[in-house]
Amino acid sequence: MDQARARSAFDYECLLAELAEIAESEQARTISGADFTQYLAFYGLVKQTNHSGELLAVELGDRTERIVLQRFSPAKPKAWALFHHGYFDHVGLFGHVIDFLLERDVGVFAFDQLGHGLSTGERAAIQSFDHYVDVLDAVLKRIDRVCPERLHWLGQSMGGAILLEYLQRNPERQTRELVLFAPLVRPYAWAVNRIYFWLAKQVVTERPRTITSNASNAEFLYLQHHDPLQAEVLPVAWVQAMVNWSDVFVRYPASNRAPKIIQGHQDRTIDRRWGAKVIDARYANAQWLQIPEASHHLANESAAIRAKMYDWLDSECCWR
Q: How far apart are the two ends of the chain, measured CA to CA in Å?
A: 29
- pLDDT, residue 194, reads 79
- pLDDT, residue 61, reads 87
| % of the chain residues with pLDDT over 90 | 83
Using 50, 70 and 90 to split pLDDT, how confident is the model at 207? confident
Domain ranges in the chain are: 12-316
Judged against a pLDDT cut of 60, whether residue 216 lies above it is answered with yes
Distance CA 254, CA 163 (A): 16
Judged against a pLDDT cut of 80, whether residue 281 lies above it is answered with yes
**pTM for this entry:** 0.96
Q: Which CATH number fits domain 12-316: 3.40.50.300, 3.40.50.1820, 3.80.10.10, 3.40.50.720?
A: 3.40.50.1820
Check if the beta carbon of residue 61 is closer than 8 Å to that of residue 128.
no
- Under 8 Å CB-to-CB from 188, ≥6 apart: which residues? 267, 268, 269, 270, 271
Distance CA 53, CA 314 (A): 28
- pLDDT, residue 205, reads 81
Judged against a pLDDT cut of 90, whether residue 134 lies above it is answered with yes
- pLDDT, residue 28, reads 64
Judged against a pLDDT cut of 60, whether residue 96 lies above it is answered with yes
Each residue of 137-158: pLDDT tens digit?
999 999 999 999 999 999 999 9
Choice between 204 and 116, residue whose per-residue pLDDT is larger: 116
Distances (CA, A) of 314 to 128, 133, 194: 35, 29, 38
